Amino acid sequence: MDGVGRSADGIGDAVGEARTPTLDRLLKECPHTYLRAHGVAVGLPSDDDMGNSEVGHNALGCGQIYSQGAKLVNESIESGEIFRSKAWSELKDECLKGGTLHFIGLLSDGNVHSNISHLLAMLEEAKKEGIKRARVHILLDGRDVPATSALTYVDMLENKLKELNDGTFDGKIASGGGRMKITMDRYRANWDMVKRGWDTHVHGIGRQFPSAKEAIETYRKENEGIIDQDLPAFVIAKDSEPVGTINDGDSVILFNFRGDRAIEISEAFDCDDFDAFDRGVVPKVKYAGMLQYDGDLHLPKRFLVEPPCIKHTLGEFLVNRGVRQFAISETQKYGHVTYFWNGNRSEKFSETLETYEEIPSDRVSFDERPWMKSAEITDRVIEVVKSREYGFVRLNYPNGDMVGHTGNMDATVIGVEAVDLALARLIPAVDEAGAVLVITADHGNADQMLEKNKSGKLQPRTAHSLNPVPFIIYNSAVKELSPEGDIGLANVAATVAELLGYEPEKCWKPSLIAK
């Protein structure tokens, strides 16, 4: 149940407000506990860092805790390793010949896709190493941070650029737009988003403003109630000329560290045979990602920080024991039950023992159809369970997360109720097959749809929560699970292995089944 956690105080709790008779009954009658799904429990720097679907599914699928995302990049910046990387040297050398260093990425400190501190550190280092000109193409968040906090981060960036711009260095914001409008599509669901971003960042095509602040303020006045993630694209211009198009001889860094919404724009920059949309004149640049976003596709070719090398995943463990596996979700979370579950691996461990199925997501705002594809996923899983062809089936209902991100409380309640209905439909098939049903989540979201702002007033919250998530076992001989506390998503792999009758890997976190 993606994005379904346990509220700490009931404020904005769409899970609590939803009518969930199935989940309520399971929590009452079945052995259950609650798992940590954020912070250090999933490899992030501190317990102030919210979890996300990528690190959550990594932990669920590998049974271990690896340094992830922001923590991985933090360690590389602190040690200086990032600036000794081959990719940094190649991009720097290109700029020292006269090219501009461009940065594209999500401008926030949400620590889910990016962190503004990484951008600021690279700008400082660029100037220190003699690069003369930098341009920043900002994607506005409002999803992993407060919904209308964009100007806070714009001010931070503008202040840093003002500090660096002393005559030997010229740094400016060049373009931008909301993360759900341009550039950051995922799973090839909407290439038009990526094209809008490409045209904005590369060619400087779009509505012009003298500053990012004026662009944001203007769009807010013109679109009452709009939040940062939905702001249209903008181009910063002087005398009607864009201040930062991307041209031959330039270098480009995508400073997002999370992979799913970084892959498509990386393909546009890094793939010679790219044909998803017309890119116009393609500048000859050196391009690098903060991380390599897909190791199997080698995308991008250059990257600044080595990713965690995740080994001993549950998927590989079961393949080695001849267990057939079935993984399914709709487009929005398909990669999470496949790529991320398998330790950031695109390929299957076994073509004969593993089956993956994707249900295409609707291409509409998820608060318009909050039930999403829960019925279709359930239809297929019921067929699979009844077939008894697979020893392990994993599925993801995205509703609590994807609808929760819209900030629409009423729609999110419906989304949670749709998942509860799906569970009610699954249970008879589980009973008939004599199967075991394990229910959990990768992080919270729908459980905290409101938060207090600095003035103490409640406002919509579109980010993940820091709340624990349920873990329930239905239809097994298990009587008791480990009590809530120092247990998290990484304890799930060993639990699944034990339910299937196998001795878990020694490197995994312990099983949750009480001995």
Alpha-carbon gap, residue 56 to 36, rounded angstroms: 10
Alpha-carbon gap, residue 511 to 515, rounded angstroms: 9
Q: Could you tell me if 213 and 140 are in contact, meaning their C-beta atoms sit under 8 angstroms apart?
A: no
Place of tokens 């279709």: 376
Tokens of residue 429, six digits: 């098939």
The catalytic site residues sit at 53
Helix or strand or coil: residue 285? coil
- Helix axes of 212-222 and 150-164: crossing angle, nearest 10 degrees: 160
Tokens of residue 24, six digits: 């309520």
Please give the order of strands across the beta sheet that includes 354-359.
354-359, 325-330, 392-395
Q: Could you tell me if 455 and 467 are in contact, meaning their C-beta atoms sit under 8 angstroms apart?
A: no
Name the H helices within 68-168. 69-79, 86-96, 116-128, 150-164
Tokens of residue 10, six digits: 């009931």
Sign of the alpha-carbon dihedral angle for 124, 125, 129, 131 = negative
Tokens of residue 462, six digits: 């579109």
Q: Beta strands 251-254 and 325-330: pairing type?
A: unpaired
Length, in residues, of the chain: 515
Alpha-carbon gap, residue 257 to 263, rounded angstroms: 11
Residue 242, preceding bond cis, omega within 30 degrees? no
Residue type, 306: E
Strands annotated E in 345-422: 354-359, 392-395
